[in-house]
Amino acid sequence: MKFYIGSDHAGFAVKGPVIEMLRSRGHEAVDLGPESAERVDYPDFAEKVARAVVDDDGSFGILICGTGIGMSIAANKIDGIRAAHCHDYYTAQMARAHNDANILCFGERVSGPGVIESMIDAFTTTSFEGGRHSGRVEKIMALQKSH
Ligand code: RB5
């Protein structure tokens, strides 16, 4: 799988380890910043990653901030994005299986390294189930086009 990764200052410390984790499992990981732990605004990096995912068919994203909340809210503003704010293996697994999420969001201040690793395992090994979930995902995407 190909991943675009971004964080803010509150997620910066785990961004590197997450990239290493993905690469060690054979995935492609593109670091979209930031390059230091200096204070930044999470919507800027959510937008970068979300636009990269939309522009690169079949790719995925990972966004890390303090809680995962701001990143998911911001990324979901971009048409074509289904960013899932996850907390554990089960939520990351369901985000792919039922919601066909294309961006995984989580919080460095919330989830420890073991939980982060389990979320990445779940997200990278689970496929969208389709079937009854397809129509629901289509309805979500149609909502983004309305006002
Ligand atoms: C930064 O202090 C913090 O607000 C941000 O990382 C994130 O948690 C927002 O949702």
Is residue 97 very low, low, confident or very high in pLDDT (cuts 50, 70, 90)?
very high
Is residue 145 very low, low, confident or very high in pLDDT (cuts 50, 70, 90)?
confident
Q: What is the pLDDT of residue 25?
A: 97
Q: Does ligand 1 come within 6 angstroms of the Cβ of 43?
A: no
Across residues 38-43, what is the average pLDDT? 98
CA 51–ligand 1 middle distance (angstroms)? 20
Q: Which atom of ligand 1 is nearest to the CA of 10?
A: 6
The DSSP result for 51-85, as a single string, is HHHHHSTT-EEEEEESSSHHHHHHHTTSTT--EEE
Domain CATH for 101: 3.40.1400.10
Torsion of CA 116, 5, 60, 22, to 10 degrees: -50
86 is catalytic: no
Catalytic site residue from 65, 85, 86, 105 = 65
Please name the amino acid found at residue 94: M
Q: Does ligand 1 come within 6 angstroms of the Cβ of 34?
A: no
Is residue 147 very low, low, confident or very high in pLDDT (cuts 50, 70, 90)?
low
* Number of domains making up the chain: 1
In which domain, by residue range, is 62 found?
2-145
Closest CA to 81 of 141, 145, 134, 7: 141
Across residues 42-55, what is the average pLDDT? 98
Q: How far is CA 20 from the centre of its chain?
A: 16
